Structures are given as structure tokens and as C-alpha cells.
């Protein structure tokens, strides 16, 4: 019984370490990106949109595809995309293959901002995730 409790405690401690690392990294990213008008979730969407989809020269993703990759609820992502669109960083358009769907793509301004803050985000990751 003691071995099970010890193993269980080790798992819980490992889980809490992962959560603490995530929280520290998220806070560092938010702090570093804030002067550029972004938070970590904003950057994740811009970063995803900067990469072409398979077989697609245009870097446009359906909102559902974005939510699966950036781990936000549909409603939180909708608010985030609306804010990025208002700031001129992304644009939304109807999906040509499915008129009910919406595709999101970077604008030139969004692409430029992404290139500007990419080294900042990578430096924070290197600093917080390195051993």
C-alpha cells in the first residue's frame, strides 16, 4: 500500500511540476509580448497562421482547426480572432468549400508583427524551458 501511495504522490508531484512550468512560461510570454500588444495566446494564433497548411500555399485555417491546435475553447478563440481582426492582424473569410465555415489568415501587418516578436517568444521558451 505504501508503494502505491508513493508512486501516486510521485505522479501528482510530476503533474504539479508540469502545471507550474506551464504557468511560469505563460506569464513570462505574456510579460514579454505585452509591449507589442499581444499575449501568449495571440502569438500562438499568429504563429500557427504563419505556417502553410498541407498542400496549401495560403496560410488560412478554419477556426475549428485553430481551436484544436491552440487549446482554447471555441468562444475564447472567437473573441481572440475578433480582437486580432480589429487590430488588423488577421482577416476572416468564408470557406469556399463550406459556406458555413470561416477561414482565418494573417494580414501583412500580422505577418510583420509575427516576424518581429518571434525571436522574443523563442528566447522566453529557451530561458524558461531549458533544464
Q: Does the structure show a pLDDT above 90 at 54?
A: no
Q: Tell me the per-residue pLDDT of 59-79, one tens digit each, with 9 for 90 and over.
A: 678 888 898 899 888 889 999
Contacts with 111 (C-beta within 8 Å, 6 or more apart), sequence order: 50
- The residue assigned the cell 510521485 is 10
Q: What is the fold, at CATH topology level, of the domain defined by 2-129?
A: Arc Repressor Mutant, subunit A (1.10.10)
pTM of the model: 0.84
Q: Tell me the per-residue pLDDT of 116-126, one tens digit each, with 9 for 90 and over.
A: 999 999 999 99
Q: Which long-range contacts (CB under 8 A, 24 or more apart) does 63-71 make?
A: 63/101, 63/102, 63/103, 63/104, 64/101, 66/104, 69/44, 70/41, 70/44, 70/45
pLDDT of res. 51? 84
With contact defined as beta carbons under 8 Å apart, do 84 and 106 qualify? no
With contact defined as beta carbons under 8 Å apart, do 63 and 81 qualify? yes
- The residue assigned the cell 478563440 is 77
Domain boundaries, the chain: 2-129
If residue 84 lies in a helix (H) or strand (E), which one and from where to where?
helix 74-86
Number of residues that this document lists for the chain? 131
Q: What are the strands of the beta sheet with 102-106, ordered from one edge? A: 60-62, 102-106, 90-94
What the block records as the C-alpha cell of 87 is 487590430
pLDDT of res. 4? 67
Amino acid at each position: 500500500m505504501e508503494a502505491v501511495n508513493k508512486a501516486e504522490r510521485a505522479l501528482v508531484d510530476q503533474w504539479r511540476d508540469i502545471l507550474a512550468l506551464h504557468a511560469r512560461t505563460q506569464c513570462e510570454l505574456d510579460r514579454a509580448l505585452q509591449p507589442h500588444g499581444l499575449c501568449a495566446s495571440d502569438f500562438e494564433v499568429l504563429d500557427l497562421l504563419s505556417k502553410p497548411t498541407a498542400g496549401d500555399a495560403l496560410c488560412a485555417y478554419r477556426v475549428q482547426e485553430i481551436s484544436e491546435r491552440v487549446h482554447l475553447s471555441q468562444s475564447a478563440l472567437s473573441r481572440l480572432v475578433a480582437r486580432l481582426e480589429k487590430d488588423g492582424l488577421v482577416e476572416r473569410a468564408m470557406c469556399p468549400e463550406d459556406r458555413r465555415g470561416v477561414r482565418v489568415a494573417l494580414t501583412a501587418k500580422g505577418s510583420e508583427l509575427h516576424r518581429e516578436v518571434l525571436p522574443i517568444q523563442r528566447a522566453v521558451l529557451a530561458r524558461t524551458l531549458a533544464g
